[in-house]
Amino acid sequence: MAALGIKIYAELKAVPPEISVRLEREIPARTYVLYQQREIIGWAQILRHSAEYYELAYVEILPPHRGKGYGRELVRFAVYEHSASRIYCLSLMPEFFAKLGFARTAYPPFVDHSDPECQACDPARCAALLFSKPAELVRYGAEKKYFQQYQDLISGRNFMCSELSVANELTWTYTENIYLMEIDSYLFLAAYPFADEPFGVICPYRAIPDAVLDKFFARLTGLGICRLTYIGAAVCRIVQKYSGGVKLQIQEDRDNFDYLYRVSDFAGYPGAKFASKRNRLKKFLKNHSAGEVIVYKPELKDVFLDFARHRFTAMGVDVISEEVLRLGLEQNLYQGFMVKVGRVEVGLLLYSELNPRTAIVHFELMDESYDGAAQFMNNYLGNLLAGKYTFINREQDLGLTGLRRSKLSYNPYRLVKKYSVKF
């Protein structure tokens, strides 16, 4: 599943032309295209027949990729990503959709069995199904009251876990389908991520009554969710003290530990432990004296995105990271810079504020043939943030050996521990 990615197209004219001819062309639709690396392997659409009636249609996985669960992941992602609370489906295979939460229903008004296209299928065997999104789930950002409540909660804490930052929630909700739910004035999250099982999140309160947690776990169980992720140390203590009726299994999630650094360390690379970083920085400055730093501005969005797209392609990264970056740039969530040597774009770095003391680096991409570019960018970032922030959070290593080695080589101030919970 790691190689899979997905893109969403709000207009048919933007859909890759090789598949647009196989999709609905007359009815307004939201199109979901499934990729393996950069190769299209499947698609689906949600058609808007009216303000009240939406239909999941044209679900297809190409033959070489069938039987691997990709269709299930695509459908589940689409129905939770879409804003409609009720989505119909017409199918000759109702059992497939029933496993994804669709229930048989009466034919909706937009169905015309006399239509030639309908007759060309097998209307006698066709079943009408309906997916109804749980009423307690509110899409992240969709309701201003909850969105503001969440923002106030995060900004009012010296909170260090990168996943729950406002910028990350506004971008990664694209692939994780993040929803808010309120229980007795406490906010919680539920997510239906692409190519992974759904999970819940407890927001970073200092204390939560057991009675509220009882309701939360009961609600998650009703939603078919039996795990929590992105649990920071403070929330972990709340969970450890919980004495309600649900048995919890807590374990460290090392692959998602965040790396926290001092701004002053990046700004000066002080002492013997940073000697190798200083040396590579000096080498870069000596070899590339014509280097130039271009500060990000919204009008440079396409320039930054084009460079990132080329780097992601060269690295074999799936299309999801590209889409997340694009969403962040379009919402003007990031600050940052690009490094050029002569006319050649060498690297970019984008960050935002995690809390009043901490900046969080979301993207750090470079042409690794330019030795010392990474050391230059991190040093430049340290000097840029000096006097404004104390710490830099460079997020997690995802268990990737090379990335872990690289992050440790910058001598982190500490690792921000995170935990997962099963129940």
Identify which of 364, 402, 166 has the alpha carbon closest to the alpha carbon of residue 261.
364
For 77-99, what is each residue's pLDDT tens digit?
Answer: 999 999 999 999 999 999 999 99
Alpha-carbon span 418 to 162, nearest angstrom: 10
Share of the chain above pLDDT 70, in %: 98
Please state the rounded mean pLDDT for residues 228-238: 94
Burial state string for 290-318 with b = 16 or more CB within 10 A and e = fewer than 16: ebeeeebeeeebeebbebbbebbeeeebb
Architecture label for domain 258-395: 3-Layer(aba) Sandwich (3.40)
Q: What is the mean pLDDT of residues 350-376?
A: 95
Q: Report the alpha-carbon distance of residue 279 to residue 376 in Å, rounded.
A: 11
Is residue 273 scored above 60 in pLDDT? yes
What b-and-e string marks burial along 377-407, b requiring 16 or more CB atoms within 10 Å of the CB? bbbbbbebbeeebbbbbbbbbeeeeeebeeb
Parts of the chain belonging to CATH 3.40.630.30: 4-132, 138-256, 258-395
- Is residue 118 predicted with pLDDT exceeding 80? no
Give me the CATH topology for the region 4-132: Aminopeptidase (3.40.630)
What value does the mean pLDDT take over residues 298-327? Answer: 93
One-letter amino acid identity for 232? G
Q: Average pLDDT of 178-191?
A: 95
165 has a pLDDT exceeding 60: yes
Report the candidate in 359, 272, 21, 341 with the shortest Cα–Cα distance to residue 349.
359
- Residue keyed to tokens 């808007």: 48
pLDDT at 158: 66
Can you tell me the mean pLDDT for 187-201? 94
Mean pLDDT, the chain, integer: 93
How many Cα atoms occupy the beta-carbon half-sphere of 367 within 13 Å? 12
State the fold for domain 138-256: Aminopeptidase (3.40.630)
Q: Where are the alpha helices (DSSP H) in 223-336?
A: 233-241, 263-268, 275-287, 301-315, 319-330
Handedness of CA 103, 109, 114, 116 (dihedral sign): negative
Say if residue 2's pLDDT is above 50: no
Q: What confidence tier does 323 reach under pLDDT thresholds 50, 70, 90?
A: very high
